[in-house]
Amino acid sequence: MRLSTEFRDLCRRHKLSATHQRQVIFETLQSLHSHPSPEVLYERVRREIPSISLATVYKNLKTFVEAGMLREVSLHHGTLRVDSNPHPHHHLVCASCKAIMDLDAASLAPIRLKSKLPKGFQVQRFSVDIIGLCRRCSRTRRGTVSSS
């Protein structure tokens, strides 16, 4: 497989070397249009690179986050979850299955702080996680509740 020009340019802008493994990991993540765990991403990437290890997927995701190509989201989930959407947005998080969906920033009123931040703290961005139940989990719970 040839490295795409877009991926090479993206890596150059973020001062990373462009490799076949990195391209497959990054492009697979983008194709999923979600915020998969490294394990889910690994299963998909293995279809194209059977010899890849889960550790390699984790290492490259961490490298992408550190370089600014991806953002880490939902830090409180206990596992790494990354976001390839570069546009301002927030997240809907299912409390049951842990699915994460994008919510356009324009869907919320502008966020403002009412009090001063601790001295020296510099805001980089606002990120809101709205916790609830996704459609699938809501239906499952309703079915469970109604049958009791």
Tens digits of residue pLDDT in 65-109: 999 898 887 655 667 778 877 788 888 888 888 788 888 888 888
All domains of the chain in start order, with CATH:
5-77 (1.10.10.10), 87-147 (3.30.1490)
Q: Is the dihedral angle over the CA atoms 131, 106, 33, 84 positive or is it negative?
A: negative
- Average of per-residue pLDDT values in the chain: 85
Strand partners, 104: 89
Distance CA 6, CA 21 (A): 15
Residue 60's pLDDT is: 96
Residue 97's pLDDT is: 82
**Confidence grade of residue 144 (pLDDT, cut at 50, 70, 90):** low
**Confidence grade of residue 146 (pLDDT, cut at 50, 70, 90):** very low
Tens digit of each residue's pLDDT (9 = 90 or more) over 13-58: 999 999 999 999 999 998 987 788 899 999 999 999 999 999 999 9
Half-sphere exposure of 134 (CA within 13 A, CB side): 14
The pTM for the full model equals: 0.68
